Amino acid sequence: MQRPHFAHVSNFNVGLFAQQAGLTLDEAHRFAGEYASLLSRNADPSKPYGLNEDQYKFIEAGYKAGASGLYGPGASFQGNP
């Protein structure tokens, strides 16, 4: 069970992890939306990717923080991973 007061940092970490793993922001949102639709009470099917506004915003913020280089370079794949 996730504590509600950790929701924003959890979504930030999803974005950061996705960026560092070499995923695109679109993939991060898509995978998070699929997860949310199955296991989250915060999913919002009327929104893009099925993510509520806070989920979407904090995933994007985490992704952008990773892309800034603040946490070092993300993964890069050469050829087939």
Q: Which is higher by pLDDT, 32 or 40? A: 32
Residue 1 falls inside a structural domain: no
Q: What is the pTM of this model?
A: 0.84
In a domain, 40, yes or no: yes
Checking if the pLDDT of 79 tops 80, the result is no
Residue 36 lies in a domain: yes
Q: For residue 74, is it within any domain?
A: no
Question: Would you say residue 46 lies in a domain?
Answer: yes
The domain of 51 spans: 16-67
| Tally of domains in the chain | 1
**Residue 1: band (very low, low, confident or very high) from pLDDT cuts 50, 70, 90:** low
Q: Quote the CA–CA distance of 78 and 53 in Å, as a whole number.
A: 34
Q: Is residue 2 part of a domain?
A: no
- For residue 79, what are the CA distances in angstroms to 57, 63, 73, 76? 32, 23, 18, 10
Q: How many whole angstroms from its chain centre is CA 70? A: 17
Instruction: Kindly state whether residue 8 falls inside one of the protein's structural domains.
Output: no
| Residue 44, in any domain of the structure | yes
